[in-house]
Structure 1
Amino acid sequence: MSALMHPLAVQQPLPADALSVRFWGVRGSLPVSGPQYVAFGGNSCCVEIRCGERLFIVDAGTGIRPLGEYLGAERSGCEIDILLSHLHLDHVIGLPFFRPALVRGNTIRVHVGNLGGADGSAALGRLFSPPLFPLGLDGLPARFEHVGFRAGDRLAFVDGPSVATCPLLHPDGASAYRFEFGGRRVCYVSDVEHSLGWPPEDLTDFVSNADLMIFDAMYAADEYTRCKGWGHSTCEAGLALCAAGKVKAMAAFHLHPCHDDTRLEAYDARLRAALPGSFVARDGLAVSFSALDHFT
């Protein structure tokens, strides 16, 4: 791991071959606020992933709003790819509040893979329309394009990069994503529920030898026994998947809205002890990997 940067840290330019991750929203189910949530943050799911300078955004919960502010400048002509794990509310509610979507001339491509190839525009159209919302995404200044695929497909982009996907066990389905760049590998695996025979062979192969796996660790083990079938997992299941796939480090993600800073600090310490280099994700935290790491 070449860098682990806390929120608002002064950052040096990354190497051109760096695969980098920044967490903008790490909560599952709904955002939270209050003094007990300061250290880890309260925004719902959104992660910025860059392959060099090439930007991908995974999920569009409330964390996409501060990401949009960070991207800043009212520049027109930008094209941005948002890869949704699925369409549950905590993963899409931030779309109309994403600053680049409010700039005419920008194009926002929204990729969805849990609908059997459908592009998600119909479902998002129902959500973002009266009486649930005052206007549709097509009423925003930017142009939205909706792209459907089947979880398990490899996504290809016109400027060269590709992203692997994998179906996940979750109500209504979900898609995992794998990013590979500069000899490094990062996997986003949320929302997922562990099951009998865990970890499954296809998911183990999908995450194999990853430098970092971002994993749905919403429940403590005792909480999960009361929530089976709800589509979420535990740190223990994530560590088992890491061991099977020889994953180097895990970021616990999709954090329960009732888990406060004190509880998450304890989880973080146990996770770091179990698999050094691992951590509980927090809003604003950035991680980068480079092929040049062994020289620095």
Structure 2
Amino acid sequence: MSSALNRFVINFWGVRGSISCPGASTVRYGGNTPCVEMQVGGKRLIFDGGTGIRVLGRSLLSEMPLEAHLFFTHSHWDHIQGFPFFVPAFVKGNCFHIHAAIAPDGSTIEKRLNDQMRHPNFPVPLQVMGADLQFKDLQIGQSVAVGDEVLVETALLNHPGQALGYRVNWQGHAAAYITDTEHYPDRMDENVLKLAQNADVMIYDATYTDDEYHSTQSSKVGWGHSTWQEAVKVAKAANVKKLVIFHHDPLHDDDFLDQVGRDVAMAFPNSLLAREGVPLHIAPPFPSLNGAKPLKEIQVSV
């Protein structure tokens, strides 16, 4: 088995958008809001702090002391609401580099996370967290070097209040994390195409179907999210190798998502719907197991 220094693995801890939706009808894909972990060349990168980060935190308790880079796309509630329950942040000796763009109103990510944990919203303030929290404000379009080999690129997305998309580069491999974003009606978003170009994996906000997005009774135009049909268009235009449908609508139960998965696969065969607890390996390839793949793991075809 390859060492962590030679691995690029994506772990999905929260794949829902808007609000967590646990229950019998969402158990196969999961009900936690966004949190995606990437283990890249021995570095740990965490994208967003939705309710999924609570589960991630519990899984990391056996690996402390920890150092990780946490990148927020934006601070809408579903992307930060798990951070106050991220246990490793309360433990002295851990270190978290926390990156996000300054909001249009001028507030930093430190202020926004602090305000979330102030009375009357939460009983325990941010200052109680014992880990070394190093807050780093990003400029839109800025790249961040994580160690000597990992480069994280950023680009502005089309979302109310502003959001950042990310691209993680390592040894010729790349994964794009593109949520929350809404497609344009008359053109493809150049920022999205740049993030996704030739990526091994593109994780894309496909909250709706086209029918839902354009519904005459409850249009979703202007809500800041996209569709799986648009995801396929981007994947083809950007020469993406693997498309991952992400930020599932809380109204979409497992059976609905099963059908979306079949529809997406017909349009873009090398695709899947993000599921909590199912890792995605970019590098290295899986070892041979008599032709079988390890249980609950997915390999990217390149």
Other structure's SS at 1:178 match: strand
- Provide the residue aligned with 1:164 in structure 2: 153
Structure 2 counterpart of 1:218, which letter?
T
Residues 291 and 36 (structure 1), Cα distance of their counterparts in 2 relative to 1, 3 Å cut:
closer
- Provide the residue aligned with 1:6 in structure 2: none
- Provide the residue aligned with 2:210 in structure 1: 221
Q: Which ranges in structure 2 are unaligned for 5 or more consecutive residues?
A: 292-302
Residues 294 and 185 (structure 1), Cα distance of their counterparts in 2 relative to 1, 3 Å cut:
farther
- Provide the residue aligned with 1:273 in structure 2: 266
- Provide the residue aligned with 1:7 in structure 2: none
CA-to-partner distance for each residue in 1:198-229, whole Å, 9 max, x for gaps?
31233212211011100001111122121111
Corresponding residue to 1:101 among 83, 89, 92? 89
- Provide the residue aligned with 1:258 in structure 2: 251
Corresponding residue to 2:143 among 109, 132, 154? 154
Q: Is residue 2–residue 284 contact of structure 2 (8 Å, CA) maintained in 1?
A: no
CA-to-partner distance for each residue in 1:114-168, whole Å, 9 max, x for gaps?
5268532222222110001112212122232221112211112355522011100
Map 1:50-65 → 2, pairs under 5 A: 50-65=39-54
Corresponding residue to 1:85 among 67, 73, 80? 73
- Provide the residue aligned with 2:296 in structure 1: none
* 1:25 matched to 2:20: no
Residues 160 and 279 (structure 1), Cα distance of their counterparts in 2 relative to 1, 3 Å cut:
closer
The total of aligned residue pairs comes to 284
Structure 1 counterpart of 2:208, which letter?
Y
CA-to-partner distance for each residue in 1:79-119, whole Å, 9 max, x for gaps?
22110010011001111211211211222222112526853
Map 1:58-73 → 2, pairs under 5 A: 58-73=47-62
Q: Which ranges in structure 1 are unaligned for 5 or more consecutive residues?
A: 1-11
* Partner Cα distance (1:252, 1:74) in 2: 30
* 1:288 matched to 2:281: yes
Other structure's SS at 1:206 match: helix
Q: Is residue 26–residue 255 contact of structure 1 (8 Å, CA) maintained in 2?
A: yes
Other structure's SS at 1:22 match: strand
* Partner Cα distance (1:159, 1:131) in 2: 43
Corresponding residue to 2:123 among 123, 134, 141? 134
Residues 121 and 256 (structure 1), Cα distance of their counterparts in 2 relative to 1, 3 Å cut:
same
* Partner Cα distance (2:273, 2:187) in 1: 22
Structure 1 counterpart of 2:160, which letter?
P
Q: Which is worse superposed, 164-173 or 273-282?
A: 273-282
Other structure's SS at 2:78 match: helix
Other structure's SS at 2:62 match: coil
* Partner Cα distance (1:108, 1:17) in 2: 22
* Partner Cα distance (1:227, 1:209) in 2: 29
Other structure's SS at 2:240 match: coil
* Partner Cα distance (1:72, 1:291) in 2: 26
- Provide the residue aligned with 2:234 in structure 1: 241
Q: Is residue 167–residue 175 contact of structure 1 (8 Å, CA) maintained in 2?
A: yes
Structure 2 counterpart of 1:284, which letter?
G
Structure 1 counterpart of 2:88, which letter?
P
* Partner Cα distance (1:93, 1:128) in 2: 10
CA-to-partner distance for each residue in 1:267-293, whole Å, 9 max, x for gaps?
111112221220111111111112667
Q: Is residue 86–residue 114 contact of structure 1 (8 Å, CA) maintained in 2?
A: no
* Partner Cα distance (1:113, 1:182) in 2: 26
- Following superposition, the deviation at residue 18 of structure 1 comes to 2.7
Residues 183 and 256 (structure 1), Cα distance of their counterparts in 2 relative to 1, 3 Å cut:
same
Q: Which is worse superposed, 197-206 or 131-140?
A: 197-206
Percent identity over the alignment is 35
Q: Is residue 23–residue 281 contact of structure 1 (8 Å, CA) maintained in 2?
A: yes
* Partner Cα distance (1:183, 1:20) in 2: 14
Other structure's SS at 1:284 match: coil
* 1:192 matched to 2:181: yes
Per the normalisation by structure 2, the TM-score is: 0.88
